[in-house]
Amino acid sequence: MSTTITILGGVGLFLLGMVVMTDGLKGLAGSSLRTVLGKAAATPLSGAFWGAGVTLLVQSSSATTMTTIGLVSAGLLTFPQGLGLVFGANVGTTGTGWLVALIGVRVSLSSYALPMIFAGALVKLLASGRVAAAGASLAGFALVLYGLTTLQHGMGGLAEQLHPADLPSVLGAHGTPFVPGLVGLLSLVVVGLVMTAVMQSSTAAIAVTLSAFYAGAVGLEQGCALIIGQNIGTATSSALAAIGASTTAKRLAVAYILFKLIAALIALILFPFTIRLLLRAGGAIDGVTLLAAYHTAYNVVGVAVLLPAIDWFTRFVEGLLPERGSPLTRGLDRAALMNPVVAVEAARRTVALALQALCEATIAFLNRANQAKSRLSISAAADALQQAQEFLSEVSGPPASEEEELRLTSTLHALDHASRFADIARGELTITVTKGTTEDIRAVQLFEGTLGSVALAASDVAKEMALSGSAEPIKSLDTPSAASALDKAHQCAQVLRVLRRAHRSTTLGAVAKGFLTAEEAMARVDFLRRLDAAAHHAWRSAAHLHGRGDEHAELLAIIE
């Protein structure tokens, strides 16, 4: 009974340490995690490399995977790029196994771990920001070491009661027939899968396996079989997380599960040959190191097989789960809320897409081009803006830096102006301008010129964000083409505002001369007032999307 309690306590300390250390490392990295992943995933190969590196540093494949899901959902990374990062995360997460193999099971570090826990906890409580995150990382790392030491003691007691001979023999073991060996192999794979599913951590399950082997409770070939199952078991958390999630999250979860199954199938086919090689190498290299190496090689082989076929693999997964829902709101994936920076960028891209759709649909509506369809498009864009507002309301915590604060503020300004424009567009903007004055026709032309330029500027924002991964400052999105479109929108809106004031006097004066009825005059004045307001909000929304909201403050004062 005491052995069981010690083992369970060691696993619990290890899991707690991993959670604390991962949270600390993520806080220490700040927005750098999103920045690195966004810039590194230019190709699936570089994404796999950097995904492995980032996961090794933050000690959490879940952090990398969830951030990747957010970036892909927001449209900031393509699905193949996201897959490359997820594949790499599977390799990076094997680094903890090496920590266990090289340090955890060989040295009793409890005397060093306890002071480290105290120091880290003290820093976490007394400091703030990244210093506090560093303290949490230190305390979490020490908890991992202390948990491994406790686990090592528990496994020592287990080894007195459990021997490799008590477990099923597997393929590759000396003198084991094929059928009993296959049954034993699959049985241990299932045991490994259940271990990970229960612990919700393949790292902890593999730490148990390495400790059990070091204590002599399991054999080398049995440990390899358990590792195969433990790797498959990590897919259970992804499968559970995908229930009720967005299509993007489901796609990455399915891709993750398929990756695990394909890698496991390869490992099972090669198992007899691999075990013979490991047993031969056992004379020169200790078994714990061999198990850690097998764990890494297992995942590397899976990545090496799927990465060259990633385009085919992507099409296959997308065929299994076709995209549904409005293209304007696909980026508003709840997975993006795991990273506030990614969530803001997702909302920014939604605003840009909705603003572009609003401009194009409003122009089509004024030109009598399929007005029913135009109204539906305007309504869909307005609904997308409302969803973006609700999405931003769920972003927790203040921005971590001045740049992130600027991004959030500019996004909110853009959303506010776009929503006001949508309210006007959903109202009655139509009027018979064919019988109007030259000023009426000129006002409509200026309005359409404003919206056309705003649509180009908004489209440029969405494209640049997708290409850059939103890793650069907002100013970097202000490309020459976008700047030209934004300046033209501003000029048209400014001229329209001046024209509107002159038009009001002329139109109301036409009533006294008998050219218009009072009702007709008021309708024309109100129409231009709506055009002016809509053009103003459209232009201001685009300006804030490009981070140029404050740049035109003096001009606005002059216009007003």
Would you kindly state where each structural domain of the chain is located, as residue ranges? 2-320, 334-559
What pLDDT is attached to residue 295? 87
Amino acid at 175: G
Averaged pLDDT for residues 202-227: 82
At position 354, the amino acid (one-letter code) is: A
Asked whether the beta carbons of 453 and 445 are under 8 A apart, the reply is no
How many residues comprise the chain?
Answer: 560
For residue 417, pLDDT beyond 90 = yes
Tens of pLDDT along 2-25? 667 776 777 677 667 766 766 665
Q: Is the pLDDT of residue 477 over 50?
A: no
Asked if 469 and 71 touch (Cβ cutoff 8 Å), the reply is yes
Q: CA-to-CA distance for 454 and 403, rounded, in angstroms?
A: 24
Q: Is residue 184 exposed (0-12), middle (13-18) or buried (19+ Cβ within 10 Å)?
A: buried
What is the Cα 288 distance to its own chain's centre?
A: 35
Check whether 356 has a pLDDT greater than 80: yes
pLDDT digits (tens, 9 = 90+) for 427-471: 755 544 444 567 778 888 888 899 988 888 888 776 654 444 443
Residue 26 is predicted with a pLDDT of: 60
Q: Which of the pair, 26 or 445, is modelled with greater confidence?
A: 445
Q: Residue 58's pLDDT is what?
A: 61
Query: What is the C-alpha separation between 213 and 215, in angstroms, rounded?
Result: 5
Whole-number percent of the chain with pLDDT over 70:
72
Dihedral pair phi/psi, residue 425, rounded to 5°: -65, -35
- What is the rounded CA–CA span in Å between residue 133 and residue 26? 8
- In sequence order, the 6+-apart residues with CB closer than 8 A to the CB of 431 are 523, 524, 527
What pLDDT is stored for residue 217 in this prediction? 78
Position 37 scores a pLDDT of 60
DSSP 468-529: HTT-S-GGGG--HHHHHHHHHHHHHHHHHHHHHHHHHHHHHHHHHTTSS-HHHHHHHHHHHH
**Rounded to 5 degrees, what are φ and ψ at 31?**
-80, -5
Percentage with pLDDT > 90 across the chain: 4
Please answer whether residues 235 and 210 qualify as being in contact, where contact means their C-beta atoms are separated by less than 8 angstroms.
no
For position 436, what pLDDT does the model report?
57
Query: Model confidence over 144-164: pLDDT tens digits?
Result: 767 766 665 565 555 445 555
Mean pLDDT, the chain, rounded, equals 76
Most confident of 168-172, 237-241, 342-346, 466-470: 342-346
The sign of the CA dihedral 166, 172, 176, 178 is: positive
pLDDT > 70? residue 127: yes
The residue-averaged pLDDT of 472-476 equals 38
Residue 418 has what pLDDT? Answer: 92
pLDDT at 32 over 70: no
**CA–CA gap between residue 72 and residue 313 (Å, rounded):** 16
When pLDDT is averaged across residues 219-248 and rounded to a whole number, the result is: 77
Token duo for residue 185: 């192999």
Residue 172: per-residue pLDDT:
67
Tokens of 429: 């903007």
Q: Please indicate whether residue 95 or residue 334 has the higher confidence score (pLDDT).
A: 95
Q: pLDDT digit string (tens) for 285-322?
A: 888 888 888 888 888 888 888 888 888 888 888 888 87
**pLDDT (mean) for 405-425:** 89
With beta carbons less than 8 A apart as the criterion, state whether 451 and 362 touch.
yes
Pull the structure tokens for residue 3.
Answer: 């052995």
**Is residue 129 classed exposed, middle or buried when 0-12, 13-18 and 19+ CB atoms within 10 A define those classes?**
exposed
User: Average pLDDT of 38-54?
Assistant: 72
Q: Minimal CA–CA distance to 307: which of 81, 63, 554? A: 81
Residue 95 has pLDDT above 50, yes or no: yes
Residue 29 CB neighbour total at 10 angstroms: 18
**Can you name the CATH fold of 334-559?**
Methane Monooxygenase Hydroxylase; Chain G, domain 1 (1.20.58)
Which tokens go with 316? 């296959």
**DSSP secondary structure code for residue 164 in this structure:** G
Mean pLDDT of all residues in 101-130 = 72
Tens digit of pLDDT for each residue in 368-413? 767 778 888 888 888 989 988 888 888 766 666 677 788 888 889 9
Mean pLDDT of 277-287: 82
Query: Given pLDDT bands bounded at 50, 70 and 90, which one contains residue 202?
Result: confident
Q: Which two tokens stand for residue 64?
A: 């990398």
Residue 182 has pLDDT above 90, yes or no: no
